[in-house]
Amino acid sequence: MSSTTVIEPRWVVPVEPANHVLAAHAVVIEDDHILAVLPVADAASRYPGVTRIHLPDHVLIPGLVNLHTHAAMTLMRGMADDRALMDWLQNHIWPAEAQLVSDEFVYDGTLLACAEMLRGGITCFNDMYFFPEAAARAALRTGMRAALGIIAIEFRSAYASDAQDYLAKGMALRDTLRDEPLLSFCLAPHAPFTVSDATFAQIATYAGELELPVHIHIHETAQEISDSMAQHGVRPLARLEKAGLLGPGLIAVHSVNLDDHEIALFARHGCSVAHCPSSNLKLASGIAPVAKMLKAGINIGLGTDGAASNNRLDLFSEMRLAALLAKGGSGDATVMPAHTALECATLGGARALGLQDRIGSIVPGKLADLTAVNLAATALSPCYDPVSHLVYAAGREHVSDVWVGGERRLVNGELINLDESAILAKARQWQMRIRPS
C-alpha cells in the first residue's frame, strides 16, 4: 500500500528549471519518489486526507550531494592541521592510517560522518576510502545515499596488498551490493602519483565495460605537476588522457592547477570537476579556476574532502566559499551567482555521479531526497531572496528536516533512528586510542 505525504514550505527551489523559486507550492511524495510539485491549494483539493507537513518559514531544496569525501577520516579531524599536502599525507596521515585503519575504524568514522552530513542537509556522498564495505554498512544504517569508491592504489594497506587486490575486492563488493537502492559505485584510483599507467589502463577498461564513473584526485598542487613532469615527462592529466579516462564519467577532484588547454579538454570530453574550496585553501593548494570552468560549460559539483583536511563536512560553507572565490579570483561579481552555487551542490554532483535522472532536483518522478532550511532566524531576517540566503547567510545549523528516498531522516533538527550518544561515545574511544589525554 502506497504512502503519500504533502510538504508545504514557504518556498520550493526545484533547481530544475534553473533560477526558479516557487512560493505557495507543495511537494507531494508517494513512497520513495516525488509525485507532484503544485500550488498548495491544488494539493489540498487533489490529495485530501493525507499526511501534511507544514513548514511556514522554510525553503525546500533538493538534498545536497557531497561529491568528494573520505568519510571515515572524521576520526582524524584536527590531527594534523596547518601543513602542506605532501607533508600532511606522508608524515602524518599515511602513518596514522597504517596503524589505525580497519573495518571497525571505517564503520565508526563513516557513521559519525553520516550523522554530521545528515544534520547539514547532505543526502548523498561520494566516498573514497579503504574498507568500502564498512562504509556501505554505515551509510545503510543511517539511511543515506552513498557512491562508494572502488579504490585503487599501488601500496599495501590493511585492506589490500596491491592495486589488483584493491580492484578485485572492490568489484566483488559491487557485485554483492549492486541492488541496494541507496548505493552506487565509482572506480576510485587515488591520484596519479599513487597509481601506475598499467592500473589506469585497467580502470579505463572497467569504466567502459561497466559504465562506472572514475573518481580521482588530479592537479591538486603545483608540486604534483612538477613531480609528474620529472618522472613521466608529462602533466598528470596527460597520463589520464593517454589511458582513455577522459569522458563524461570522469570526476576530477580539486583541479586547482589547470591551464587553458586542460580546461578545454575537460569541456570537450564532458568531464566533471569536484570543487573542494575549503580543503584547497587549508592545504594551500590554491584556488581552482572555477570562473573559466563555468564559462567553458564544465559540470561542477562541490565536495568537502575529508574532515582531516577541511575540517567540516559542510556544504553550506562550500557553497558560500565557492561563490566568493570565483568572484574574487576572476574580478567578476556576476560569476557563480547563488542559484549556480546551489545547482553545483545538488544537480551538479548528481550529474557527475550519473544520478541526475534520480536525484539533484525537485522534479516529479525523481527520488524524494529533500532538505528543508528554516529561514526564520534573526540572522536570516529579513529575507528578500531565499536562494541568496541559502548561499550567503544560512548555515547547516538552519537545516530542520531531511528526507532520503521519501524517508524522513531528520525531523526538526533531530536525527531519526540513530543513537547519537552511542556514535559520540565511539568517537571518544577512538580519540583515546589515537591520542590519549
- 98-140, pLDDT tens digit by residue? 888 999 999 999 999 999 999 999 999 999 999 999 999 999 9
Look at residue 436 in the predicted model and tell me its pLDDT: 72
64-352, which class in CATH? alpha beta
- 53-101, pLDDT tens digit by residue? 999 999 999 999 999 999 999 999 998 888 888 898 889 888 888 888 9
Look at residue 420 in the predicted model and tell me its pLDDT: 96
Segment 296-324 shows an average pLDDT of 97
- 379-406, pLDDT tens digit by residue? 999 999 999 999 999 999 999 999 999 9
Look at residue 435 in the predicted model and tell me its pLDDT: 83
* Domain limits, the chain: 4-62+362-415, 64-352
231: exposed, middle or buried (C-beta count within 10 Å: 0-12, 13-18, 19+)?
A: exposed
- 6-52, pLDDT tens digit by residue? 999 999 999 999 999 999 999 999 999 999 999 999 999 999 999 99
pTM: 0.97
Cβ–Cβ under 8 Å, residues 269 and 247: yes
Q: Which CATH superfamily is domain 4-62+362-415 in?
A: Urease, subunit C, domain 1 (2.30.40.10)
| Residue from 189, 369, 391, 183 nearest 277 by CA | 391
Q: How confident is the model at residue 437 (pLDDT cuts 50, 70, 90)?
A: low
CA–CA distance, 224 with 226 (Å, rounded to integer): 6
| Residue from 52, 54, 122, 175 nearest 313 by CA | 122
Look at residue 414 in the predicted model and tell me its pLDDT: 97
CA–CA distance, 376 with 365 (Å, rounded to integer): 30
| Residue from 245, 394, 432, 420 nearest 316 by CA | 394
Could you write out the three-class secondary structure of the chain? CCCEEEEEEEEECCCCCCCCCEECEEEEEECCEEEEEEEHHHHHHHCCCCEEEEEEEEEEEECEEEEEECHHHHHHCCCCCCCCHHHHHHHHHHHHHHHHCCHHHHHHHHHHHHHHHHHCCEEEEEECCCCHHHHHHHHHHHCCEEEEEEEECCCCCCCCCCHHHHHHHHHHHHHHHCCCCCEEEEEEECCCCCCCHHHHHHHHHHHHHHCCCEEEEECCCHHHHHHHHHHHCCCHHHHHHHHCCCCCCEEEEECCCCCHHHHHHHHHHCCEEEECHHHHHHCCCCCCCHHHHHHHCCEEEECCCCCCCCCCCCHHHHHHHHHHHHHHHHCCCCCCCHHHHHHHHHHHHHHHCCCCCCCCCCCCCCECCEEEEECCCHHHCCCCCHHHHHHHCCCHHHEEEEEECCEEEEECCEECCCCHHHHHHHHHHHHHHHCCC
Cα dihedral 69, 71, 76, 77 sign: positive
- 64-352 matches 4-62+362-415 in CATH topology: no
Q: Tell me the percentage of the chain whose pLDDT exceeds 90.
A: 94
